[in-house]
Structure 1
């Protein structure tokens, strides 16, 4: 019986990807580098720090990684605060409330920074539902490395065999499977060029899930 659900955030709970995309490409323009859409797609599920480490190596950027991260974060925060139409993905709040009301433990495991997670959770009133928040900035390696999900599972009230991860990215699904955790792949319209085939189950809408369906996953 499933007792803990571990949620990714970007592309699963909220679609901040357009805000990230805007902030990244504004920064790329300022840095005078050309990042293809194919290269950008490989960043999904990576922490901002690891993205800029890769960009620094690929383009020989002079700035320190931390400076690049802070610049992009400022661009993101400005865009996030003025984007009035930003909302939770359809059906995800209902699923979160349904699981919470039925005693399922909810943990967030996101590659996003703590600052970004806090902005999202405060804006949409999500703190009350989650027992723990795990940020990718606390781990030296990003998804597909399993460290973030291994840590999230260690915070569960149950063994990892009674945990489920919900992810929308290729890297996230690989990380969940490498951690030995059942993974539901969410086919988000907003997560482009992602391969979900390794997921144990694939959904296209959160209406396909509820407490009973998740509880009885084998």
Structure 2
């Protein structure tokens, strides 16, 4: 049996509580151009990455205005990040410290831009825990396609059985499962569907609840 050696983490909504700020800044940009934007609307964007967000906004408002809305929302979001408005999700630092102490190799596997990933991991203090980052610019297709995890496996040079994924959204979960990877689910914006619960290795309320499982030699060899 193959032991788990690598942990692949999504970022937005899983490690860092970004969704409230994403919603606030995107809603403000859309309202400024006369478009309503609800939390139900926002849920459709979760975990899909910047290319999907831009494409959806351009479908809504046209190529030029969609790009303007995207740029305005992104600039305001980055101002919020710089102002220290983001917080880690509960249990994140405890798990990352445990993983590093136990010799796991941790990657960020996110559909967000590299700038956002590096900036947010730096401002929240978790950047030293990660060996590598696979970001939106590194892949052709965003989640729910498997590209981000295929790239992570390639860079790590490991078998699929050696990786364990952590995801919070349906699109991220589908991406990991499309790569045939064992996945721990910690839902954020929306509850996990019964099908997702059935397919996940674990479905947890808080990310550090996985620690007892990672200490179990038999479970680590799923």
User: TM-score scaled to structure 2, two decimals?
Assistant: 0.87
- Cα separation, partners in 2 of 1:3 and 1:114, compared to 1, 3 Å: same
For residues 137 and 23 of structure 1, the distance between their equivalents in structure 2, rounded to whole angstroms, comes to 22
- Give the alignment's Cα RMSD to 1 decimal: 2.1
The corresponding residue for 1:133 is 133
Contact 1:109 1:133 in 2 (8 A): yes
For residues 8 and 45 of structure 1, the distance between their equivalents in structure 2, rounded to whole angstroms, comes to 9
Kindly indicate which of the two structures has a greater share of residues assigned to helix.
Answer: 2
Q: Deviations over 1:35-85 (max 9, x none)?
A: 34333211111112211212222x24241665443322101011223344x
Give the secondary-structure state (helix, strand or coil) at the position aligned to 1:155. Answer: helix
Contact 2:57 2:70 in 1 (8 A): no
The corresponding residue for 1:146 is 146
For residues 178 and 153 of structure 1, the distance between their equivalents in structure 2, rounded to whole angstroms, comes to 13
1:5 lines up with 2:7 in the alignment: yes
Deviation at 1:155, TM superposition (A): 1.9
- Cα separation, partners in 2 of 1:91 and 1:205, compared to 1, 3 Å: same
The number of residue pairs the alignment matches comes to 214
**Could you tell which deviates more after superposition, 34-43 or 103-112?**
34-43
Contact 1:107 1:133 in 2 (8 A): yes
Gaps in structure 1 of 5+ consecutive residues: none
The corresponding residue for 1:76 is 77
Deviation at 1:116, TM superposition (A): 1.2
Matches for 1:86-97 after TM superposition, within 5 Å: 86-97=86-97
For residues 61 and 33 of structure 1, the distance between their equivalents in structure 2, rounded to whole angstroms, comes to 12
For residues 154 and 108 of structure 1, the distance between their equivalents in structure 2, rounded to whole angstroms, comes to 14
Give the secondary-structure state (helix, strand or coil) at the position aligned to 1:55. Answer: helix
1:63 lines up with 2:64 in the alignment: yes
User: TM-score scaled to structure 1, two decimals?
Assistant: 0.88
For residues 16 and 89 of structure 1, the distance between their equivalents in structure 2, rounded to whole angstroms, comes to 9
The corresponding residue for 1:192 is 190
**Could you tell which deviates more after superposition, 88-97 or 153-162?**
153-162
Give the secondary-structure state (helix, strand or coil) at the position aligned to 1:216. Answer: helix
For residues 6 and 66 of structure 2, the distance between their equivalents in structure 1, rounded to whole angstroms, comes to 35
Q: 2:19 aligns with which of 13, 17, 20?
A: 17
